[in-house]
């Protein structure tokens, strides 16, 4: 397959732009995944400390703050993203 086929572009110039941009996207996705894994590890520290102290895993008021933060930054899809992040970090409630 040629670069044009793979990218869906109709010219080799557009195919070059898309190929370069996709490399940047792949690198960004790797960093985002790494940050999510780091967030999961830090969240686990908080949850473990709270559970060990006799508290509950989940803290609803804190989660509402996080949902609002993502919604304010990214709009409605930000809320969905934050819910997915919270599920990754503390499991399903």
Ligand X SMILES: C=C(O[C@@H]1C=C(C(=O)O)C=C[C@H]1O)C(=O)O
Q: Which residues bind ligand X (CB under 6 A)?
A: 43, 46-47, 58-59, 62-63, 66, 86, 89-90
Q: Least distance from C-beta 79 to ligand X, angstroms?
A: 14
CB of 41 to ligand X, least distance (A): 10
Specify whether the CB–CB gap between 67 and 79 falls below 8 A.
Answer: yes
Beta carbon nearer to ligand X, 23 or 48: 48
Question: Is the Cβ of residue 14 or residue 85 nearer to ligand X in the bound state?
Answer: 85
CA distances 11 to 21, 56, 66, 83, Å, are 15, 57, 44, 40
């Amino acid at each position: 397959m040629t670069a044009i086929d793979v990218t869906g572009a109709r010219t080799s110039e557009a195919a070059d732009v898309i190929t370069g941009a996709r490399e940047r996207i792949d690198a960004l996705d790797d960093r985002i995944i790494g940050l999510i894994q780091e967030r999961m590890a830090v969240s686990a520290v908080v949850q473990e400390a709270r559970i060990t102290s006799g508290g509950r895993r989940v803290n609803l008021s804190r989660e509402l703050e996080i949902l609002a933060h993502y919604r304010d930054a990214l709009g409605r899809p930000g809320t969905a993203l934050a819910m997915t992040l919270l599920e990754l970090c503390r499991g399903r409630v």
